Amino acid sequence: MNVFINSTGHYLPGEPIDNDNIERILGLVNGKPSRLKSKILQANGIRTRHYAIDESHTTTISNAQMAAQAGEDCLAKVGFNKRKLGMLSAATSQGDFVLPGFGSMVQAELQLPDIELQTSHGICSSSMMALKTAYTFLKSGEHDSALVIASELSSRLFKASRYEAASNVVDFNAEFLRWMLSDGAGALLLETQPRKNSLRIDWIRGFSHADAYPVCMTVGQPRTGSAQKSWQDYPTYAEAEADGALLIRQDVRLLDNIVKLGVDGYLRLMDEKQLNVNDIDHVLCHYSSDHFRSKIFDMLDHAGMMIPEERWYTNLYERGNTGCASIFIMLDEFLRTQTYHPGEKILCMVPESGRFNNVYMQLTVVES
Amino acid sequence: MNGRKKLSSLLAQQCLQQLMRIWFEFERDLGRVPIIARLENGQFTADDYRNLLLHLRQQVIEGGRWITRCASSFEREYVDVRNVVIQHAKDEHQDYRVLEADFIAAGGQSEQLNQQGRNLGTEALHAFLMYRASKPNPVDLIGAMWMIEGLGQKMAANWAERVDEVMGTETKCTTFMHYHAENDDNHIDKLYEIMDRVCQTEQDAAAICKTARVVGRLYALQLEEIDHD
């Protein structure tokens, strides 16, 4: 059974925020402008992004609501009747609540009756895990349709007050993501029958390497002390926060592994004959930062397996890095703004640095 | 990797792609070796570092031997390759002295250096490399050099700084690890340049990859043995 992406949708909250206005929204930590900001922004190349919080740090739209907006946008484009939907597969790094699962909250927002529900938890690759689950459900004949939604509201983690509450333990690794991540949601409609303009999913394949690498991106782990200690091990949540255990951190020294593992997966897929680089017409890669784009290109190029640069599309620089939502937001904008033809192949790649999970997908443009 | 010319033969390119995969897999294997996992998790101690140097020392000493043996096994038609390998051997055959100085600076005792023999992994690695190096025209050892040079880069890029955090930079006991950065980059460039030359048949490519795999496995065994000693 074939599975097709028959519609896409997105939601980006509020107006685009340029680099000069980031701290106006997120706030100045202890009243002082960041000294790292320009360096990190220069490396990631992001020029504008969206936030679901305002200058007073009021949340303007919840994560589940953003997910629902993207879902509505996706269904409306093809006039899909919500009551016919078989499955909702939702992904986020952090829902509005710790519990219940994010999917339940999104289902309620969307008012979807009697669906099969799936929530995928993780960081950037959680959207691809949610997509693969829906894809295999449809492929096995369990359902005829599924809505896959990925949404992120990370700006809540970046409010100045969060850093002030942990003022003795804010280091480079804790500040790094403040200038990288932003908010948004993307959605895909999967069906077993193609519509007029569809993308057939040829394959989806993930390779996770958590067994061989330490955690690289965390929320809930303190900076110092035992690597096993969790935010939940503190007597009170206030103590966990004061110890910096609720800050989102990236161990930047481990980041280069993501490039190597990304290329490794690419080589594996070539060896398994799933991927033929000469067949690929468009590449959509969720690299978190421009810095990694050139490193990926160098490595692919020198091993003689580069897909020409003009075939690579991204909207990272204008829409920001929206974590797991990025790849869906990118695919949605690609389909709306770029030129592509029936028979062309699209390679999507999501290398995640959380604990190194890389997911790849090949799509073929079909017209019926 | 900037600025390197592309490999001209498809075979050499495919061999390089395989070598990259073997290297990435080896890096994952290293991450599973207890002493390296401690290093990467921030649980590494000064004792760990001294132990690591003690166990690496034998392999570094033997390294000079297999590379010179390898050079002498290349016959006249491989004189250009021999030339590269001789240069490589010349650069590295006294590296162990730098390592020994680091060990002393890290608080180790000089008598320990002589007491520590090869561990099981080092025995196997050394024996394998000497065996291969004794064969005529051992092009497959390019695979071994790929792994060993990659390790040098990895030490400089990933390990040295972490060790410095444990030992304190003022001790100046990570010269060996740091110093590989410049030299090994140069060596990798040279290896890259001779890939087209040494990888002329599918058998060459297979032998290069096999040797790279064996070296990776035995090197990991050598590091695993540190915790078994």
Query: Is residue A241 in a domain?
Result: no
Query: Is residue A348 in a domain?
Result: yes
Same domain for A203 and A117: no
Query: Is residue A335 in a domain?
Result: yes
Same domain for A17 and A29: yes
- Domain, as residue range, for A10: 4-197
Q: How confident is the model at residue A227 (pLDDT cuts 50, 70, 90)?
A: low
Query: Is residue A159 in a domain?
Result: yes
- Domain, as residue range, for B160: 10-37+44-228
Instruction: Please judge whether B161 and A253 are an interchain contact, meaning their C-beta atoms are less than 8 angstroms apart.
Output: yes
Query: Is residue B21 in a domain?
Result: yes
Q: Which residues of A touch B37 (CB under 8 A)?
A: 214
Q: From CA A248, how far away is CA A40, in angstroms rounded?
A: 16
Among candidates A254, A263, A304 on the partner chain, residue whose Cβ is nearest the Cβ of B7 = A304
Give the pLDDT confidence score for residue B170 in this predicted structure: 87
The CATH number for B154's domain is 1.20.910.10
Among candidates B2, B24, B32 on the partner chain, residue whose Cβ is nearest the Cβ of A260 = B24
Q: What is the DSSP letter of A53?
A: B
The CATH number for A278's domain is 3.40.47.10
The pLDDT profile of chain B, 229 residues, written as one tens digit per residue, is: 344 556 668 899 899 999 999 999 999 999 999 999 999 888 999 999 999 999 999 999 988 899 999 999 999 999 999 998 998 888 777 889 999 999 999 999 999 998 999 999 999 999 999 999 999 999 999 999 999 988 988 888 889 999 999 999 888 999 999 886 666 566 667 777 788 889 999 999 999 999 999 999 999 999 999 999 7
Same domain for A125 and A139: yes
Same domain for A119 and A208: no
Min Cα–Cα distance to chain A from B160, Å: 12
Among candidates B20, B28, B158 on the partner chain, residue whose Cβ is nearest the Cβ of A212 = B28
Query: Is residue B48 in a domain?
Result: yes
Query: Is residue B5 in a domain?
Result: no
Task: Provide CB contacts within 8 A for B120, sequence distance 6+.
Answer: B221, B222, B225, B228
Same domain for A22 and A164: yes
Total number of domains constituting chain A: 2
Could you say which residues from 155 to 214 on chain A have a Cβ atom under 8 Å away from some Cβ of chain B? 209, 211-214
Same domain for A209 and A144: no
Q: From CA A67, how far away is CA A106, in angstroms rounded?
A: 6
Is the four-CA dihedral A92, A97, A101, A107 of positive or negative sign? negative
| Interface contacts (A, B; CB < 8 Å) | 61
| DSSP H helices in chain A | 22-26, 37-44, 63-77, 102-110, 126-139, 160-165, 172-175, 237-242, 256-271, 290-302, 316-319, 326-337
Tell me the ipTM for this assembly. 0.83
Same domain for A256 and A177: no
Task: For strands A116-121 and A184-191, give the pairing.
Answer: unpaired
Query: Is residue A235 in a domain?
Result: no
